[in-house]
Every structure is written in C-alpha cells, then in structure tokens.
Chains A and B, each alone.
Chain A
Amino acid sequence: MHKLLILYATQTGNALDAAERLSRLAERRGCLVFLLSLDQYDPSLLPQEEAVIFVVSTTGQGDTPDSMKVFWRYLLQRNLGQHWLKGVHYAVFGLGDSSYQKYNFVAKKLEKRLLDLGGTAIVERGLGDDQHPSGYEASLDPWMSSLWRMLNMIKPEFLSNGPDVVIEDTVLIDQPKVRITYHSIENVESHFSSASDLTSLNIQIGSARSMHPGKSSSDRSRPDSFLKTVKNLPLTRLNSGKDVRHFEFEFVSNALEYETGDVLEILPGQDSAAVDAFIQRCNLDPDSFITVSPREMDDQNAHHSSIPVKLKTFVQFSMDVDSASPRRYFFEVMRFFATAEHERERLQYFGSPEGRDDLYQYNQRERRTVLEVLDDFPAVQMPFEWLVQLVPPLKTRAFSISSAQSVHPNQVHLTVNVVSWTTPYKRKKKGLCSSWLAALDPRDGIYVPAWFHKGSLPTPSPSLPLILVGPGTGCAPFRGFIEERALQSRTNSTAPVIFFFGCRNEDGDFLYRDFWLSHSQNKGVLSEAKGGGFYVAFSRDQPQKVYVQHKMREHRQRIWNLLAEGAAVYVAGSSTKMPADVTSTFEEIVSKENDVSREDAARWIRALEKCGKYHVEAWS
C-alpha cells in the first residue's frame, strides 16, 4: 500500500494545524496518510519512505522547534552521503514570519539538506508567512494544489480519487477524533472520597489534561507542584504604560528543587462565568462524569483507561473557551451544524478561498474566542465530541524563575508582564494567564498548578565571569543569578558580573531598581570595585532612543576584558529584534577591541555559542 508520510515540527500549534489540513485533504483524495510529529519518527527509516511531506515552523531566532532538534541533528551527519535518500520523494512547507531576519530558515535548510542527501523534490518548497494578510494559509492552499497535481503525475497510485476532489458540500465526511463516555456517579465517587483537596485537584487536572486529544507526548499531565501566592506587587508605576508584577509563591504540596535559570510553567484558571456560559450555550450537563478517548479505542478500554471527571472540570482544565482563537477547520465543521440558513451560508463563505481573508480578519486578527464565535452564530449546535477536538486546548504559560532557592528556600518568584491590547475593531483584550495571575490575592487561597523544567539558560558556576543583557522582564532570571552569587560570595570568591538592563523610564518601569543598586554598591557582586558593573538604558527619558546596545558600546573595553577572561554571555528578554541587535553589538565590540574584521569577530562569537558560552532566552 502506498503510504504518504506527513511529518511536522510545531512550536505553537500552527504547523500541526497545517499538517492536519494537509492530511485531511490527502485522505479525501484516497491517499493513505501517516501523520507524525518529527520527534515521534525515527530518522534512520527515512530512506525506506516513498513520499514524505515536511511541515516545519521556524521559531523566532531561526531555530527548529524543540520536537525537531534530534531529527535535524541526525540529518546533519556528514557520513550520510549524497545518495542516502535516493528514491525518496519529498516536499517541504515552512511556516515563518518575514519580519524576522531568519525568515523560514528551518524550511530552507531542510529542503537543501534533503536535496543534498539525494532526495527528489515533488514540488518547490512552500513558505507560509505570518505577515501576510491571511497568514500562512495564503501560501498553503496554492502550494497544496501544485502538490496534488505533481504527485498525481509522478505517482498516480497514491491518490486513488485523483488530484481534484469535489466534496459533496452538504455532508461532513470527516469524523471526530474522540469519543465521549458518560459514567454513572456511583462508579466515580471512590476516586475522590478519601483524597485530600490537593490530591483530588491533582488527580482531576492530571486526568482532564491527559485525556485531551491535544496533549503532546512530552507533557506531564499532573502538575509537579501546587503553589500559593504570598506576594503580588507592582513593579511599575501606575499609568506608566506598563504593568509588571513581582510574584512570590510558596510550595503548598511537595516542595521541588529548582535552579536559577529554570522555567516555571503555570496552568491559568479560567473565569468561572465564562466556563458556565460555554457549557450552557452548548447544552451540556456540567455535572455529568465523562472520560474522553480516541474514537478507535473499543468500549472496554475506553471505559477503564482514564479516571472520569466532571464535564465542567474537563472544560475548565483543558479547553480554552474564552481566550485562544479557533482554527479555520472549526468554522468548516461548524457549518454542518448550523441550523440557520444565513449562518450556514456565512460559514461556507468563511471556509472558501474567497472568504479566507475575511475569516482571518474576523477571527485571528480580532482574537475571537470560542465563546464569542458561538455567540455570533447562535443557531449552531456542535456535538461535544467535535468541541473537544476543535476548541483550542488550554495551554500552560512559561516564565523564567526570578529567584534563587538558596536564598528563598520554600519559594519561587516570578516577574510577569500583564498583557493587554486593543484589537483592530477597537475591542479591549487581556492576556489570559497574566491577567489571572494579576488578580491573585494571598488571601484567596487559590492554588496555582505548576510544572518546573530547564530553560535555555544553564545555571552559571560561581567562578564563571558573566555578561548579562536583560532589558524589561528579561531581567527576571538574572535576579536569581545575582542573588545566588551574592550569597555565594559571602563564603567564597566569585567571578565578576556585568549586567545591562533597559527599560522605558527611570521612574516608570525600572524593575527591581533597589535590588540591582544594592548589589552594585558596597563591593557587591555587580560593583565595579569587584570587576563587575550595572548599566541601565532608559529608552524614553530623552529625545533619542537609548537601548542596551548603546550602553554596551559605551563599556566595550570592560566587556572585552571579561570576555577575554572566559566570561559567558546570557541574553534574555521579550523582543523580536533585541537578541539579534545584541549579538551584532558583541561582534562590533570584539572586532574593534581586537582590530579584526567583522566576519572574524562574528565567527568568534559563533564559536562562543558552540562552546556553550553564549545563551539566549527570548520570548514574545
């Protein structure tokens, strides 16, 4: 049987959506499809494949998504040779953002490597661009048309229904991926009756999230720990244009060990009223006990494989009902459950190529939530199975930890930017997680479900000199580094630290001002007396913009001296351009201080990276 393998590498879910769409359209053409994430596929099997389609995203710094790293390394091996993929037909579709310098680098490199390894391209690579008015789909659809045409020409046996399939418009031919099983109350009580509050909560969250079809294989469903709020303090002045908070959390259940530079992932709570409104709108019973299982699983297994939870609990902990926007497929399926003529027509329009741009305006640009969409199409009644599959999964949000456990033994601190913005249609929107956190009060007794893992910033050893660049909330992990080093310096000698911070206004958003200042005076770890330094760029305190790069140039000799002593560089912050600008500034400094060309300086910086002495953690 001729099998089409579709491999995707997704970071935020876009590549997965695109791959799923590709998969659906292939199946409608009579193709046998295997859809896998790149981290589920063994690269050594690649030469045996007949046809492979890659759908890969490029992340902000031009990097591969996490799920692709191992696969990519395998492919880069020199000893594979130029005939390794002889006979393998491939096609690559990339998702990227042309406002980044390294636009779609992952797809571009992948395609070239596949060619060099002896593969045969079915069609030219397709590049999706977030900056296009209707996003990546503008490129995907035409690219897919050529894909089917070419595939049909070179391997007609693949598409048994032919390359152009006319869909019977009145019938939904796809089936939901999940099935819902309802359980009677007696069978369920036993799981929770003897469990304490926290244990019960842990089980419920774990069960709900593990049953959800959107769960990725690497996720841990049960929270590592629960936290309670001890402090929630503003770090910015009111009306300064920014709202950044300092949080101090304490472990409630088992305390975990973490290191500076680690990442805390939080599951945000959803507004109870919104969850109730969703359940009511969809005519569901919030108190019924359910389990969710893959549709192909038989009755016996479905009944016993997961712990039943209340429908309301499932929605609350795993389905994002009032924040993330649904995808185009949600609208396609909705159409078949529209009972009103004008709604059905509108949904048909949205699903067509002509209506794609308008759908993008209405949905993605406006950040329309599922609840808002259902309210806009009040006559639509979607079965719960489809809702579970198509409502965006509730995602955890990751933050760099801003404390050192050696200094605050039972605590974890975070520095959070509370996000809000106005949509093109002038509606006010808030970030789900940051707003939820901002509303937390130590007295309300709310538990915060949390997971810990390593980020891209390895904990520095005390004898490693450091150059830190962290404007805005980028300073968060460095607060941990510095308070830890300050503690270490009391018993042993520690290496110097230079820290470049940046913000808008000295009296508006100078985060942790007193903390940095206290360590940069009195022979503290940031003091010049100790070989270190603390320098701040206030971008808006004068007519011309002053950023961290400018401050770095001012102190380039100090920077070079520390680099020559073997310092490691850490760059952190929220920005598309900042990391690249900072790297460029380092290159400039190395070039000037050593009187070598820019290219050689750039190579030297790249060598630093490869030696594990140049780390970047950038978030958007």
Chain B
Amino acid sequence: MNIAGWCKNILNSTFLILQDGTKTPGAVLACTDGAVLPISQVFDAIRELGNEGVEQRDPLVLTSATLLSKLPVDSSSVDFVILIWLSVDCPVDQLIQEILRVLKVGGTILIRESSQSDVGSFDKIISDLENKLLLAGFSETQVLQSTGIKAKKPSWKIGSSFALKKVIKSSPKMQIDIDSDLIDEDSLLTEEDLKKPQLPAGDCEIGSTRKACKNCTCGRAEEEEKVLKLGLTAEQINNPQSACGNCGLGDAFRCSTCPYKGLPAFKLGEKVALSGNFLAADI
C-alpha cells in the first residue's frame, strides 16, 4: 500500500488499523490523541529508539486514542509503543495501563509531547508524566531533551515485590531529581530495630515515672491533673514545721514525699503563701 492511499484512508475514518495486531517479532504500536498522524513522525520515533531493522517493521497506528477504553491489541504482544501526544493534559491513567498491558516484558514506551506550550509547562508535564509512568508500574524512566520520555516495562508487574529505586521529587522549580544511585535507607534496619519498643509495664499508672505526652489525647493528662490532693492541713499551712529542716527551703531542697512540694519557700512557723499560679483555675 502506498503512502498516499494510506493517508486517504485515515481521513475517511476515525479509527484506522493498518494491519492485524499479529504477534510479529519487533512489533511496534504507534498511538496518538490526534485525529491524524504523519507516518514520518512514527518512523522518526522508531529511529530514535535506535533499533536497526525497525524500518522493515509495519507499525500499527491508532489515532484518537482518547476515545478508546481498551486498545484492540493482544496483551504482551508489542515491543515498542510510541505515543505522540498533542494535548496539554497528560494521557489518562487508563491508557497508560493499557499500554503497559500490550507491551511485552522488557518492551519500551516512547512518549513524544508535541504540544505548543512553552518550555516551563513542558517540564511540568514531563514531570507529571514520569510520576504517572512510575506509579503505573513502568521502570527505568528517562527524560529525553525537549521531546519526551522513555520507559520500560519491567519484568515484574505492579503488585509483586519490587523496590522502587528511582526517587522523583517534583519540585516547583521544575527540576527532576533522580536519585537512582542512593541505597534504600530502610534496608539498614534489622528485624529487631523495627519492633515496637517495649514500654515499661504499668505505664498507665499515674506515677512519677511515665508522664502524659504534651499533646495527650488519651485523657491521661487530665487524669494527672485530677490527682490534685493537696494533702496539707490548715495547720500545716499556717504553722509549717519541718523535721528534716528542708521543707522551707523550696522545691530544690525538698524530698520527693514532701507535702509542701510545689509551694514556694517559707520560714518555719510563718504562714505559707499559696502563690498565684498554684491551684488557681485561671491565670
């Protein structure tokens, strides 16, 4: 079939599938969200993938790809998928999942972003796209200078065990920071390290050891507050005495069982001043 006749066919229909999606080795699928796709763009992209002999292959071309909910292609049957994307919005996740499905293991996707928007938003689109690819289960993503992005279908599928080696930070400065050369820091921890630390027994007792967290939500802080017994008689306040001699010196010198704990220093025999911040409901 010559090129002219082929182009005429495209104009006449919304979907055009050139040939069957047969399981030929080195099968290539080209998709676009546009209605038309010059075949030269497809071949350019194939050449960019750098495989010799690719020109001999017959690429399958799908146009208006956004209208499809499923690709009419068998699973794991395609070596290369070329996505020529015109719109500013990212391809939806469903399409990306479908591409992942039809690709063979080790197959490559090449996405060419050809929207007319300026460089700034291009970088952002690429960064979003990269995230989408990673989350869908692609690996080895590679950004191609001002043209698009490439990725591989890994030999595992999403859901089986894998370690994400790539780290992407999509920062507002539009830098894509790929930390593929850092080890996974969580691998430094042993089983023992990961076990929840043992807290001392009897932890919920309101005692002198364990204290309520600053932002206590379990109610312990309020319980501690309630354990308010002053434990001092009027006599002890009006005529304080001290066998050890230290009670009047202030908290720094009192022992842990001192009934005057929390009160200011006083002179023996003189009434103890209950300071303003003690027991007062409001300050």
Residues of A at the B interface (CB closer than 8 Å) are: 72-73, 76-79, 98-99, 101, 103, 105, 108-109, 112-113, 116, 131, 133, 342, 346, 358, 361-362, 365-366, 368, 373, 375-377, 420-430, 458-459, 539, 564-566, 574-577, 594, 596-597, 599-600, 603-604, 606-608, 610-613, 620
B277 touches A428 (CB 8 A): yes
* Inter-subunit contact A612/B213 (CB<8 Å): no
Q: Does B253 contact A (CB under 8 A)?
A: yes
A604 to B135, CA, bound (A): 8
In the complex, the answer to whether A76 meets B228 with C-beta atoms within 8 Å is: no
A620 interface neighbour in B135, B198, B214, Cβ under 8 Å: B214
Task: Report A-chain residues with C-beta under 8 Å of the C-beta of B188.
Answer: 108-109, 112-113, 116
> Roughly how many angstroms separate A620 CA and B168 CA in the complex, as a whole number?
29
Is B47 interfacial (CB-CB < 8 Å)? no
Is A608 a contact partner of B168 (Cβ separation < 8 A)?
no
**A608 CA to B93 CA, complexed, in Å:** 15
Is B210 engaged at the interface, CB distance under 8 Å to the other chain? yes
Alpha-carbon separation in the docked complex, A101 to B185 (Å): 17
Distance between B125 CB and nearest chain A CB, rounded to angstroms: 11
Stretch at the interface among B59-67, B69-77, B98-106, B189-197: B189-197
Q: Judging by beta carbons under 8 Å apart, are A421 and B252 in contact? A: no
Tell me the minimal C-beta distance from A130 to chain B in angstroms.
10
The stretch of B5-13, B147-155, B169-177 in contact with A is: B169-177
Instruction: Check A611–B215 contact: CB distance below 8 A.
Output: no
A539–B167 Cα gap in the complex (Å)?
A: 37
Task: Provide the bound-state CA to CA distance between A613 and B199, in Å.
Answer: 34
User: For this complex, into which size category does the number of interface residues on chain B fall?
Assistant: 35 or more
Closest A residue to B277 using CB positions: A428
B208 sits at the interface (CB 8 A): yes
Which residues of chain B have C-beta atoms less than 8 A from A539's C-beta?
217
* Cα–Cα, bound, A73→B167 (Å): 12
Report the bound CA distance from A603 to B262 in whole Å. 51
Whether B252 and A611, one on each chain, are in contact in the complex, defined by CB atoms closer than 8 angstroms, is: no
Cβ–Cβ < 8 Å partners of A365 in chain B: 211
Q: A425, B251: Cβ atoms under 8 Å?
A: yes
Supply 23 A–B pairs (Cβ within 8 Å), ascending by A: A76-B183, A77-B183, A78-B182, A79-B181, A113-B188, A131-B210, A133-B209, A342-B249, A365-B211, A376-B265, A422-B225, A424-B208, A425-B251, A428-B277, A458-B172, A576-B213, A577-B217, A599-B161, A607-B135, A611-B135, A612-B169, A612-B171, A613-B170
Chain B residues, Cβ within 8 Å of A358: 256
Bound-state CA distance A604–B137 (Å) is: 10
11 other A-B residue contacts (CB within 8 Å) besides A425-B261, A608-B135: A73-B179, A376-B250, A421-B221, A426-B279, A427-B277, A428-B280, A430-B283, A566-B93, A574-B215, A610-B169, A612-B131
Q: How far is the CA of A215 from the CA of B162 in the complex (A)?
A: 45
Query: A346 and B196: CB pair below 8 A?
Result: no
Q: Are A600 and B159 in contact (CB under 8 A)?
A: yes
User: What's the minimum C-beta distance from A428 to chain B, rounded to whole angstroms?
Assistant: 5
Cβ distance A372 to chain B, nearest Cβ, rounded Å: 8
In the assembly, what is the distance between CA of A597 and CA of B162, in Å? 13
Confirm or deny: B164 has a beta carbon within 8 angstroms of a beta carbon on chain A. yes
Q: A109-B189, A362-B252, A422-B225 are in contact. Are A99 and B182 (CB under 8 A)?
A: no
Q: Which of A105, A376, A607 contacts B134 (CB 8 A)?
A: A607
Q: Which residues of A contact B182 (CB under 8 A)?
A: 73, 76-78
* Alpha-carbon separation in the docked complex, A607 to B182 (Å): 15
Residues on A with C-beta less than 8 A from B179 are 73
Report yes or no: B199 in contact with A99, Cβ–Cβ below 8 A. Answer: yes
B197 touches A103 (CB 8 A): yes
Q: Quick one: closest A residue to B169, CB to CB?
A: A612
Question: For residues 120 through 150 of chain B, which have their beta carbon under 8 Å from a beta carbon of chain A?
Answer: 128, 131-132, 134-135
- Say whether B224 faces chain A, with CB atoms less than 8 Å apart: yes
Chain B neighbourhood of A133, CB < 8 A: 208-209
| Chain A residues in 8 Å Cβ range of B280 | 428
A361 and B183 contacting across the interface, CB-CB below 8 Å = no
Best-surrounded residue of A131, A361, A373 (most CB of chain B within 10 A):
A131
Asked, given contacts A342-B249, A430-B283, whether A611 binds B131 with beta carbons under 8 Å apart, the answer is yes
CA distance A274 to B167 in the complex (A): 51
**Which chain B residues lie closer than 8 Å to A423 at the CB level?**
262
- Which residues of B, 46-87, contact A by the 8 Å Cβ criterion? none
Residues of B within 8 A of A459 (CB): 172
Q: Determine the residue in chain A with the shortest Cβ distance to B209.
A: A133
> Are A610 and B189 in contact, CB atoms less than 8 angstroms apart?
no
A residues near B172, Cβ cutoff 8 Å: 458-459
* Chain B residues positioned under 8 Å from A597 (CB to CB): 159
Contact A373/B167 with A423-B262, A576-B213, A600-B159 known, Cβ cut-off 8 Å: no
CB-based contact B134/A611 at 8 Å: yes
- Which one of B90, B132, B198, B283 has the highest number of Cβ atoms from chain A below 10 Å of its Cβ? B283
Question: In the complex, what distance in Å separates the CA atom of A42 from the CA atom of B270?
Answer: 62
Residue from A79, A376, A422, A608 in contact with B251 in the complex, judged by beta carbons closer than 8 Å:
A376
Least CB distance, A253 to chain B, in whole angstroms: 27
Across the interface, B213 reaches (CB within 8 A) one of A73, A99, A600, namely A99
